[in-house]
A = this chain, B = another copy of it.
Amino acid sequence: MTFVEKLSGAWRANRSLVCVGLDPDPQKLPESLTSKRAPIFEFNKAIVDATADLVCAYKPQIAYYAACGAEDQLALTIDYILATYPRIPVILDAKRGDIGSTAEMYAAEAFDRYAADAVTVNPYMGSDTLKPFLDRADKGVVILCRTSNAGAGELQGLKSDGQEIYLHVASLASRKWNYNGNVMLVVGATAPVELAAVRKVCPDLPLLVPGVGAQGGDVEKVLGSGLREDGYGLVINSSRGIIYAGKGPDFAAAARAAATQLRDQINGYR
């Protein structure tokens, strides 16, 4: 099964466009977990067990694990999701990008070492640097297009030949990079006008949309701008809004409540 098939199945099985970002800051873990041997993994496991029927994907952000040398707990987390909830895809958020020979190594990191279903990548270096990822037909390649942060427009919004850089990326994704049908684009929830423009260039591509919740993106506008004609096509990520919904020993129940609310809010606009 390819990544896109797995994602399509999860959208439908759970009637959900919600992706939960597993970005566990060791400083913010509930006290009840701090004495555990693998507290980050235990935190993730509890969140995953509480939300697996409510989501279409999980997205661990590798920086949170790399900062504290917890690659083993990232691997435990991904292994656990793949073994326990085999219908839910795992997107490794890593935003990798380098020359071809190095990109091969990054593809091995995401797809072989961690066995993620998809990985986020940065297009700044060009097509040849994306190829080692794109060639993995069974895996998803989630390419940064228009990001959710305040300064995203600084380079991405520069116009060339009458078209912003992020639309050049969208156009390359549609015309050139999707030869294995495994491309997704990142477009931030904080940029609904840009999201609509990308959807116009790429009517069928799945889009990963971060930036609802803590970053302030508007769910109604995201759905209005980005939904595909079939009512799917979006993977709407919330990290802090879900995983830190509660701080006490009931954090998993609080995460479930927050994920339910986001799923229902999204479905209300579909």
Using CB atoms and an 8 Å cutoff, list the residues of chain A in contact with chain B.
23, 25, 61, 63-64, 66-69, 71, 93, 95-100, 102-103, 105-106, 108-109, 112-113, 122-129, 144, 147-156, 158-161, 165, 168-169, 172, 210, 215
Chain B proximity of A78: nearest CB distance (Å): 13
Contact call B63/A102, Cβ cutoff below 8 A? yes
Q: What are 16 A-B contacts defined by CB distance under 8 Å?
A: A25-B105, A61-B105, A63-B105, A64-B102, A66-B105, A67-B106, A68-B108, A99-B147, A124-B124, A124-B144, A125-B147, A126-B152, A126-B155, A128-B151, A154-B172, A160-B165
- The quantity of this chain's copies bound in the complex is 2
Complex Cα gap A97–B121 (Å): 10
Instruction: Tell me the nearest residue of chain B to A147, going by C-beta.
Output: B125
Complex Cα gap A71–B215 (Å): 32
Chain B proximity of A47: nearest CB distance (Å): 18
> A124-B156, A159-B160 in contact; A67/B112 too (CB < 8 A)?
yes
Contacts of A67 in B (CB 8 A): 105-106, 108-109, 112-113
Kindly list 5 other residue pairs between chains A and B, CB separation below 8 angstroms, not including A66-B113, A67-B109, A95-B97.
Answer: A63-B109, A125-B155, A126-B156, A127-B154, A160-B160
Contacts of A172 in B (CB 8 A): 154
Contact call A158/B165, Cβ cutoff below 8 A? yes
Instruction: Tell me the nearest residue of chain B to A159, going by C-beta.
Output: B160
Complex Cα gap A152–B126 (Å): 5
Chain B proximity of A51: nearest CB distance (Å): 21
> A69-B113, A98-B63, A159-B160 in contact; A126/B151 too (CB < 8 A)?
yes
Contacts of A125 in B (CB 8 A): 144, 147, 149, 151-152, 155-156
Contact call A66/B126, Cβ cutoff below 8 A? no
Chain B proximity of A189: nearest CB distance (Å): 12
Contact of A155 among B112, B124, B150, B151 (CB under 8 A): B124
Chain B proximity of A68: nearest CB distance (Å): 7
Contacts of A156 in B (CB 8 A): 124-126
Chain B proximity of A73: nearest CB distance (Å): 13
Contact call A149/B99, Cβ cutoff below 8 A? yes
